[in-house]
Structure 1
Amino acid sequence: MSKINTHPIFNFLCLCSFASPRITPLRSLCTEVILEGARGGEGRMGYIGAHGVQALHRYKYSGVDHSYVAKYVLQPFWSRCVNFFPLWMPPNMITLTGFLFLVTSALLGYIYSPLLDSPPPRWVNFAHGLLLFLYQTFDAVDGKQARRTNSSSPLGELFDHGCDALACAFEALAFGSSAMCGRDAFWFWVISAVPFYFATWESYFTNTLILPVVNGPTEGLMLIYLSHFFTALVGSEWWAQPFGKSMPLVGWVPFLNEIPTNKAVLLLMVVFAVIPTVYCNINNVHKVVQATKGSMPRALAMLYPFVVLLGGVLLWDYLSPSNLMKNYPHLVVVGTGLAFGFLVGRLILAHLCDEPKGLKTNMCMSLLCLPFAVANALTARLNDGVPMVDEFWVLLTYTAYSVSLYLHFATSVIHEITSALGIYCFRITRKEA
């Protein structure tokens, strides 16, 4: 049996629980965690146990893209693009380069629209569109480069989808700049993060990433960069005017025609994209759970950290006397986006390592700062609007913690997978035995 790496406090509580017959619930929890570790959950190696190493050697990626746009338009284009990359260039370097395009886009938005409520120069809108197009292209080409150089690996999938999870935050900030979303930039992050998390959760159970006929990575990104290009022509102010004025054809709709165009687009995306997608994800997982006679509550428990993350940030903003999402949109979105990236990365790793289905307790590490942040905001309600600690510093600490947690996870897992598989992250050649 592999050794189990647990926290000293957890070890002490377990010892107490087995010594006292009155602490039955705690004893049950300790037993479950110990058994999970024995099955190869979190081993002495760090994030990956002995069972996980064996699963990594067996793992084969499975994905299906039903998009007609991808099949008949973009796939032929991407197949030509891959030939521009030299054979010595590792796929993960292509992935990272594509991700840095979006980081650059978000930085441009911050420079020219710090609060995301003022129109940036039109060349910035065009740059947002071009950088997103390049991100989509590089994100698609990396897999082709991996097959072309015979360097496909589970690390490539984790690296690719991990960057995609972070990309949700940086593109939300870029779009918030173009569309003058202000505090609603957070909600544009939400409508990209929710389907992403549910799709990752679904693939954990179905063992296949299924992209429908119309999906986010293809048509969704295409719609966004076309919106950036359109904004470069008409100006960002177009998004701030009433929807009925921007889109006269829908002026007859009583509610939509009066609200700003960016808010109307947000609502339409929720109704016609997010809700149907999430419904399909849950339905597909339910079918698998029924077929395997598993536990649906146990499957739904894996959504708990993400729901608490969203709920915690929204509660914090509601109680905040500083109007966090309006005054510090970049810090809120980046901090929450990196915490989200940790959750997604941990979920993908559990899939790659064939870990037992259910809540992964260390996912809750991403939530550690939220109780303190909410409590600090609550003190302002009890102290004439003055919090115990300045909220800017609390938010900065929250963001720094999320960055540190994600970097620790990413570097640790990359080291463990490369050691287990005998490969490099940014080199195509294999390690010597």
Structure 2
Amino acid sequence: MITLTGFMFLLVSAVLGYIYSPHLDSAPPRWVHFAHGLLLFLYQTFDAVDGKQARRTSSSSPLGELFDHGCDALACALEALAFGSTAMCGRNTFWFWVISAVPFYGATWEHYFTNSLILPAVNGPTEGLMLIYMAHFFTSIVGAEWWAQDFGKSIPLLSWIPYINGIPTSGVVLLFMVLFAVIPTVSFNVQNVYKVVQSRKGSMLNALAMLVPFCVLLGVIILWDFLSPTDLIGNYPHMVVMGTGLSFGFLVGRMILAHLCDEPKGLKTGMSTSLFYLPLAIANTLTARLNDGVPLIDEKWVLLGFCIYTAALYLHFATSVIHEITTALGIYCFRFIPPHKLELKILMWCWWLYYVVSYKGSLVFRCKCFTSFNPMVAVPFWDF
């Protein structure tokens, strides 16, 4: 429940960005930037507290891991939209989502093969999020225009650097994040997986095959935008990022589920389900070339259909997995049974069984015992 509450903070942040900057290219009120930073800080805090509570109460479970990482995967898209409104990134908001999704997928992929999640000294979940909410707070002081002006004007001390002093500040930040964060992190992931695969005498090609669905997702979305006659990402950044983010969340969820179930290593065919809609979108875009630049179906509705498809797919996956895990393990999704209450429940069942089994009276009395002493009837177990 703590993780879900933290996730709702980011959802509110993304909605604020949409209300005050629908295309992510206009400056929202400065209090919105402060709200973005505060909500991200609360999300990070709740996400960390949830893990500590699970360890303190001994309530850790596979469902908790799946739920936590599933929310984190969707959080990449929501925070990209929030930062896009803060920095007025416009269509570059999609690329900010990409540079957050790539390391996340790489870390999940590494965890899948190595059974351990090793984070570098400076990592995204701690220092990375701290830098982002500090950027939100900073923007609430200087204004969103600071990100849109040339890098040399935003930071005069670095205006001597060639090639980048005329690029918008948000673009330079994007470039620096790719060079100094994404590439080193992904290299670290590949190196760790390679060591484990070699030690187990496995196939590195089999390991790399797990990256194919994610690469196909990114490639097809970029192709769709390239072929689109309506500037897909520029006109509908929220729908593109959310539709792609939900598809990404499904890929991550499937990989985590395969790891929890200890399935054989290799590409899972079920992961491609989130990609089935994209060929239809590409085909519709190509019809514009045969109809004077007008596609058969307005791309706004095709993109909305993509969002609905991925949302329905993700919700079906999440609800199905939650139901199966809670049923198999006898646990609850949003609450747990404290140890002393669990012991009390066991004692009550033993007490009831003693009277029913040991008494030598009639069947009628046993039925009365059932209604009188059964904890399910006398004191419902869910009220403990």
**In which range does the TM-score fall when normalised by the shorter chain?**
0.7 to 0.9
Which secondary structure does the structure 1 equivalent of 2:118 belong to? strand
Match of 1:259 among 157, 163, 167: 167
Give 1:394-433 correspondences, 5 Å limit. Answer: 394-429=302-337
Deviation (angstroms), 1:252: 1.4
Q: 2:232 is matched by which residue type in structure 1?
A: L
Q: Would you say 1:117 and 2:25 are equivalent positions?
A: yes
Q: 1:303 is matched by which residue type in structure 2?
A: L
Which secondary structure does the structure 2 equivalent of 1:313 belong to? helix
Give 1:290-305 correspondences, 5 Å limit. Answer: 290-305=198-213
Q: Which has the higher contact order (CA 8 A, sep 6+)?
A: 1
Deviation (angstroms), 1:126: 0.1
Q: Would you say 1:201 and 2:100 are equivalent positions?
A: no
Deviation (angstroms), 1:427: 1.5
Q: Would you say 1:145 and 2:53 are equivalent positions?
A: yes
Which secondary structure does the structure 2 equivalent of 1:209 belong to? coil
| Cα contact 1:205–1:285 (8 A) shared by 2 | yes
Q: 1:279 is matched by which residue type in structure 2?
A: S
Give 1:7-406 correspondences, 5 Å limit. Answer: 93-406=1-314
Deviation (angstroms), 1:383: 2.1
2:365 is aligned to none
| Cα contact 1:325–1:332 (8 A) shared by 2 | yes
1:32 is aligned to none
2:357 is aligned to none
Tell me how far apart the structure 2 counterparts of residues 398 and 200 of structure 1 sit (CA, whole Å).
25
Tell me how far apart the structure 1 counterparts of residues 181 and 54 of structure 2 sit (CA, whole Å).
31
CA shift digits 1:351-382 (9 cap, x unpaired): 11101110000100010111111111111123
CA shift digits 1:20-49 (9 cap, x unpaired): xxxxxxxxxxxxxxxxxxxxxxxxxxxxxx
| Cα contact 1:319–1:381 (8 A) shared by 2 | no
Deviation (angstroms), 1:248: 1.4
Deviation (angstroms), 1:409: 0.4
Which secondary structure does the structure 2 equivalent of 1:318 belong to? helix
Which secondary structure does the structure 1 equivalent of 2:127 belong to? helix
Tell me how far apart the structure 2 counterparts of residues 382 and 156 of structure 1 sit (CA, whole Å).
50
1:47 is aligned to none
CA shift digits 1:203-241 (9 cap, x unpaired): 111101111100000000000000000000000000000
Tell me how far apart the structure 2 counterparts of residues 298 and 317 of structure 1 sit (CA, whole Å).
30
Tell me how far apart the structure 2 counterparts of residues 255 and 171 of structure 1 sit (CA, whole Å).
29
Moved more, 145-154 or 124-133: 145-154
Tell me how far apart the structure 1 counterparts of residues 177 and 55 of structure 2 sit (CA, whole Å).
35
CA shift digits 1:92-123 (9 cap, x unpaired): x0000000000000000000000000000000
Which secondary structure does the structure 1 equivalent of 2:165 belong to? helix
2:359 is aligned to none
Q: 1:316 is matched by which residue type in structure 2?
A: W
Count residues with an aligned counterpart: 341
Tell me how far apart the structure 2 counterparts of residues 294 and 357 of structure 1 sit (CA, whole Å).
10
Deviation (angstroms), 1:420: 1.2
| Cα contact 1:129–1:226 (8 A) shared by 2 | yes
Which secondary structure does the structure 2 equivalent of 1:146 belong to? helix
| Cα contact 1:242–1:258 (8 A) shared by 2 | yes
Deviation (angstroms), 1:324: 1.0
Q: 1:117 is matched by which residue type in structure 2?
A: D
Tell me how far apart the structure 2 counterparts of residues 253 and 144 of structure 1 sit (CA, whole Å).
45
Please list every run of 5 or more consecutive structure 1 residues that lacks an aligned counterpart in the other structure: 1-92
Q: Which structure has greater helix proportion?
A: 2
1:27 is aligned to none
Which secondary structure does the structure 2 equivalent of 1:119 belong to? coil
Tell me how far apart the structure 1 counterparts of residues 129 and 261 of structure 2 sit (CA, whole Å).
30
